[in-house]
Amino acid sequence: MEQRELEQLQAGDKVPNFKLLASNGQQVELADYAGKKVVLYFYPRDMTPGCTAESCDFRDFSGEFGLHNTEVLGVSPDDLASHEQFVNAHELPFLLLSDTEHTVSELFGVWKLRSRDGESFMGIERSTFLIDESGTLVKEWRSVNVDGHVKEVLEAVKGGRSE
């Protein structure tokens, strides 16, 4: 039986605390960011063109996110060694979380059946989520197109609205 779309987190839901290993080698949990907004962006794979462009856009605007009491966290199924290489290669100033078991990706409903070149596989659907200071999901962007996306997320952070 198919998993129902309603089981994934949606805007207005309280986000359960989760723990993942981060690119700095430490375990990070959502509760570490209480009192701050969190931009949680899910991307398919380190060092690929689209994921690199998106991560570098978040890097380039990281100062502006910081001015608005907002932490950016990237999530992919890559392991810590891959994340370390990706962070170093592109001077990413934020943590990348390693979701090798797909638990957080499944919680947010972004671990999906995908296809490329006629082949089907399970993977991350590029998506971004804005979590407010109290841990509530206030905005979601699913099936993201990289061009202009980070600016759109920043505008939502600045506006502080869930619309």
Q: Distance from CA of residue 79 to its chain's centroid?
A: 15
Is 51 designated active site?
A: yes
User: Which is the catalytic residue, given 15, 28, 51, 110?
Assistant: 51
Alpha helices in the chain (DSSP H): 49-60, 62-67, 80-90, 103-107, 149-159
> How many CB atoms within 10 Å of residue 95?
20
Name, in order, each residue with C-beta under 8 angstroms of 31's C-beta and a sequence gap of 6 or more: 17, 135
Q: Which are the catalytic amino acids?
A: 51
